[in-house]
Amino acid sequence: MSLVSILVILLVTMAALALARPQMGMGGLGMGGMGMYGMGGMGGMMNPYMNMMYRMPYYG
């Protein structure tokens, strides 16, 4: 599986979950805990694209 395919799948999955469960935000128990960052909660810190796309809308 190419890196692009993995990123697309992660983006679609995260977008769907973010829309379905916005009250969870993007905290460790939300996407991170479910591994949607790719590496759990820590993945959010390792991936600046996910940080920019999801942390800013939820945390201002």
The predicted structure's pLDDT at residue 20? 56
pTM: 0.33
Nearest-5° angle of CA 52, CA 24, CA 17?
Answer: 75
Could you give the CA distance from residue 51 to residue 48 in angstroms, rounded to a whole number?
5
- Higher local confidence (pLDDT), 22 or 1: 1
Average pLDDT over residues 14-28: 55
The predicted structure's pLDDT at residue 54? 52
